[in-house]
């Protein structure tokens, strides 16, 4: 036994140089930057998860991000989709970025804005987005022009087909098979598999539980007759079948989150992957939301409070909860900081780097305000209070339902927050300058088309899709529903009717023209003309193509503002030579032998070599 200390000392003396050598080598070899996977739910509320106390739904995979990582107790987004996405992508309040609406081009992110994906791509990451984009469709507003190497999904804010949907793959429409969330997740999994050997940024903006109310049959079967244990803050406004369908869609989403988390485990990269999960606004129906007031489209607490869960096993403490308020504007500075990469762009940020909170660093954290704005309404949140859009002050810790105003008891605070809102209106909501080629900006009427032109003819992205959503119906032409997203033009019956897209042709040259259409068989044969200034192309609407409206898309009747979809056929109209410049691209009829011309979903222009 007396020889053991000697052998131990000898072993240590022989091993020490090797250990030191290995340590020095490790210190000189840079560690691989973390991968980043970002999940963004569409129209899910804070209360739609079992982690947040909802006993009617099971979300174990989403919950695992929270239990294995860091939870933000008070995280705030904007009341609707596109504004939140703009803030997440840029770190800036959405009105600064040009995003003023959710459709007809108003959802587009100004071209001088730089995104989170721009930063990660510049740092050598593979970048991909798979799902709903909602910040611009045509190049250079397209996701592939905003930092993403790959894109698959729909760029519109709403999609009318969730089963076997036509979706975009890097600029071209493809017909898919299956449920839209499953299909987009398949593409995200393929992206992760292909790029596992290098750092990647994988953005998965889910389409659900945004309406139409459409859940896979197996998910709906679990909820169809299920009792709902917890109800909306105002239960008289809840439609229980909509709640059931929304939760069925959330459970399907959870299963797809689980598929991606398992793939990270299988590839051995989960330890060094930052996983983020949040939602883009409050719930899209009145349902359980932790007693908070209101829902999507409202600047009240229930319309803008979202979960935020961030997991990074290599660096972040598991099970940690952060009480400080935070918002979507914080994600760009936070994720670039965690990854150790510089942001791209020099515009001032509204967001803060949250990494000191995430890493539990003992550093001062100044008090702050977070603003929520939509449709002319502005509210402001402090750590404890919210001043609502009507100027009423509430203590959100004691009164999450915003039932008892405190203005008469907290006069100084109410006055300070009122002044802060006035400053926000002056500095952030001020009218933007009119961009080159655009008509002067005015206060937009409902569904008014954005004055910024739609760009056509970039050599690096030669296909330009011009959906009905981005055009203006004139004469008797109407949209197929009040919601322009995923709509099509109908009621085209007169030679005085027309459809107009405000375009800017970047490259003069020859373009092929294709129109996605339907037409009653007896009405086939109308002569139509597409024109831009003196350039003109005419063609016949043939053959007739009159499919029925889909009957396989909806679990519940879709909201009346959303279009019932059908199978459109492509009409190759021919070639046209377009001049460079800005002007109205007009589609009209020259001859109408039948009762109508056609319904139009989109016009596609392809620049020829």
Residues known to be catalytic: 81, 134
Residue with tokens 């403490």: 317
Which tokens belong to 576?
Answer: 């046209």
Measured CA to CA, the distance from residue 164 to residue 465 in angstroms comes to 20
- According to DSSP, the residues that pair with 587 across neighbouring strands are 499, 530
CB contact at 8 A, 600 and 477: no
Greatest Cα pair distance, the chain, in angstroms, is 110
- Do the bridges between strand 377-381 and strand 393-395 make them parallel or antiparallel, or are there none, so unpaired? unpaired
Dump strand ranges (E) for 26-185.
Answer: 35-42, 70-76, 126-132, 150-154, 166-169, 172-175
Q: Report helix, strand or coil for 191.
A: helix
Measured CA to CA, the distance from residue 374 to residue 597 in angstroms comes to 38
Which tokens belong to 522?
Answer: 């007896």
Q: What does R_g of the chain's alpha carbons equal in angstroms? A: 26
Output the DSSP codes for 432-488.
PPPPTTPPPP-PPPTTPPPSSPEEE-BTTB-EEEEEGGGSEEETT-EESSSS-TT--
Instruction: Return phi, psi of residue 260, to 5°.
Output: -70, -40
């Amino acid at each position: 036994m007396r020889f053991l200390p000697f052998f131990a000392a000898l072993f240590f003396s022989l091993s020490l140089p090797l250990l030191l050598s290995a340590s020095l080598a490790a210190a000189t070899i840079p560690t691989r930057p973390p991968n980043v996977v970002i999940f963004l739910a569409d129209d899910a509320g804070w209360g739609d998860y079992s982690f947040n106390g909802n006993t009617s739904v099971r979300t174990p995979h989403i919950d695992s991000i929270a239990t294995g990582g860091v939870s933000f107790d008070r995280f705030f987004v904007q009341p609707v989709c596109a504004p939140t996405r703009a803030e997440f992508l840029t770190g800036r309040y959405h009105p600064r970025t040009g995003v003023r609406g959710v459709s007809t081009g108003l959802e587009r992110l100004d071209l001088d804005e730089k995104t989170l994906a721009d930063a990660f791509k510049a740092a050598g990451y593979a970048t991909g987005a798979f799902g709903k984009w909602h910040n611009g469709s045509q190049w250079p507003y397209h996701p592939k022009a905003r930092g993403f190497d790959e894109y698959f999904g729909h760029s519109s804010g709403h999609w009318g087909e969730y089963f076997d949907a036509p979706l975009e793959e890097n600029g071209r429409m493809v017909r898919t098979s299956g449920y839209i969330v499953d299909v987009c997740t398949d593409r995200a999994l393929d992206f992760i598999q292909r790029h596992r050997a290098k750092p990647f940024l994988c953005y998965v903006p889910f389409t659900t539980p945004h309406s139409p109310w459409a859940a896979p049959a197996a998910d709906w079967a679990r909820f169809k007759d299920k009792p709902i244990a917890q109800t909306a803050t105002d239960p008289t406004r809840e439609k229980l079948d909509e709640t059931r369908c929304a939760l069925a869609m959330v459970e399907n989403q959870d299963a797809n989150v689980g598929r991606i988390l398992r793939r990270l485990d299988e590839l051995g990269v989960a330890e060094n992957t930052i996983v983020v999960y949040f939602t883009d606004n409050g719930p899209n129906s009145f349902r359980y939301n932790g007693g908070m007031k209101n829902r999507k489209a409202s600047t009240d607490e229930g319309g803008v409070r979202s979960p935020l869960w961030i997991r990074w096993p290599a660096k972040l403490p598991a099970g940690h909860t952060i009480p400080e308020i935070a918002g979507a504007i914080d994600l760009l500075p936070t994720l670039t900081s965690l990854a150790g990469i510089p942001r791209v762009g020099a515009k001032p940020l509204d967001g803060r780097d949250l990494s000191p909170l995430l890493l539990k660093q003992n550093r001062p954290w100044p008090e702050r305000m977070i603003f929520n704005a939509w449709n002319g309404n502005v509210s402001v949140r402090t750590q404890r209070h919210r001043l609502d859009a009507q100027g009423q002050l509430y203590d959100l810790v004691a009164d999450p339902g915003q039932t008892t105003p405190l203005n008469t008891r907290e006069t100084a605070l109410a006055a300070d927050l009122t002044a802060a809102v006035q400053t926000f209106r002056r500095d952030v909501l001020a009218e933007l300058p009119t961009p080159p080629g655009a008509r002067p900006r005015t206060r937009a009427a409902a569904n008014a088309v954005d004055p910024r032109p739609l760009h056509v003819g970039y050599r690096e992205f030669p296909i330009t899709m011009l959906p009905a959503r981005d055009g203006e119906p004139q004469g008797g032409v109407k949209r197929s529903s009040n919601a322009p997203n995923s709509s099509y033009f109908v009621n085209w019956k007169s030679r005085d009717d027309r459809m107009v897209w405000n375009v800017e042709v970047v490259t003069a040259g020859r373009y092929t023209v294709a129109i996605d259409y339907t037409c009653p068989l007896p009405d086939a044969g109308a002569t139509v003309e597409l024109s831009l200034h003196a350039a003109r192309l005419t063609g016949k609407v043939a053959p007739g193509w009159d499919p029925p409206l889909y009957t396989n898309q909806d679990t519940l009747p879709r909201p009346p503002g959303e279009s019932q979809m059908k199978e459109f056929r492509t009409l190759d109209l021919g070639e046209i030579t377009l001049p460079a410049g800005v002007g109205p691209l007009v589609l009209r009829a020259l001859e109408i032998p039948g009762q109508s011309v056609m319904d139009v979903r989109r016009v596609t222009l392809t620049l020829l070599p």
